[in-house]
Amino acid sequence: MASVPSRAADPYAGRDDSALVRAALAGSDPAIEAVLARLSCIVRFVFKLNRTLGYRLPTEVLEDVVQQVYAALWPRLRDYVGGASLESWAFGFCRNCLRAEARRRASRLRLVRGGEEADALARAQPDAADEPCEQVQRAERLDALHEVLQELPDDEREVVELRHLHDWSFERIARERGIAPSTVKDRCYRAMTRLQRLLRQRDEAIDEAGSAPAVTGGA
């Protein structure tokens, strides 16, 4: 099962993840091991997104997607500049690779009608109850959430990521990070309140932009 390394045993604890990535790119074996340990979250993210977005991709396909994520992400490590956590950065790769695989399989389904292959592909499509527009709405909402998550203070963002991306309990977060459970819950509450406000402001801005009259050029 995917895990997040304990900060207590992490020599890069308390430092921006970009320092860890730079050390790994410089060839430091401990840094490379630490990066791989943090990126073990990729397995969890891919399988969780498969459920969240309503896909029904089978396990063997999801395992291929995990490999695609690593193949896409590792050459891009030099582009990582910090800010968001390394795990949060990897989340975007998971989302994009999973969607690309789902689109490829949907295209094959449209081309291949009947027979065992079509049956297999049909089982890999989203639930019948999930209409395409609903899937698009889910994906767009997930994109928006991931975007505004980066606007949270670091301590609040970390708690949300550990709680909702890694499925850690409040007690485990407190134990691993060396803080009181009440502090974890308080940060999570503040973070969720802030996220709701940011999402609401984002939706209002989109609505205002959509209702604004078109501006045409003069004669």
**What is the C-alpha separation between 105 and 57, in angstroms, rounded?**
9
**What is the C-alpha separation between 34 and 24, in angstroms, rounded?**
8
First to last CA, the chain: 64
| 3 state SS for 186-211 | HHHHHHHHHHHHHHHHHHHHHHHHHH
Q: Please report, rounded to a whole number, the percentage of residues in the chain having pLDDT higher than 90.
A: 29
Residue 128 lies in a domain: no
**What is the C-alpha separation between 101 and 132, in angstroms, rounded?**
16
Burial (Cβ within 10 Å: 0-12, 13-18, ≥19) of residue 85: buried
| pLDDT the model gives residue 3 | 43
Question: Is 145:199 a contact under the CB 8 Å cutoff?
Answer: yes
Q: Cβ atoms within 10 A of the Cβ of 22, count? A: 16
Query: How many domains are contained in the chain?
Result: 1
**What is the C-alpha separation between 18 and 88, in angstroms, rounded?**
13
Q: Any idea which of 16-30, 112-126, 167-181, 195-209 has the lowest mean pLDDT?
A: 112-126
For residue 64, pLDDT over 90 is answered with yes
Domain containing 162: what range?
151-207
pLDDT, tens digit, 9 for 90 and up, residues 143-182: 677 777 778 888 888 888 888 777 789 998 999 889 999 9
92 pLDDT tier (thresholds 50, 70, 90): confident
Q: What CATH number should be reported for the domain holding residue 184?
A: 1.10.10.10
Comparison of pLDDT for 153 and 132, the residue scoring more: 153
For residue 20, pLDDT over 70 is answered with yes
56 pLDDT tier (thresholds 50, 70, 90): confident
| pLDDT the model gives residue 22 | 92
Mean pLDDT, to the nearest integer, of 80-88? 83
Residue 171 lies in a domain: yes
Residue 54 lies in a domain: no
Burial 120-157, CB ≥16 within 10 A → b, else e: ebeebbbeeeeeeeebeeebeeeebeeebbeebeeebb
Residue 96 lies in a domain: no
Instruction: Name the 3-class secondary structure at 217.
Output: coil
Residue 163 lies in a domain: yes
5 pLDDT tier (thresholds 50, 70, 90): very low
Q: Cβ atoms within 10 A of the Cβ of 48, count? A: 18
Q: What does pTM read for this prediction?
A: 0.63
Residue 188 lies in a domain: yes
For residue 24, pLDDT over 50 is answered with yes
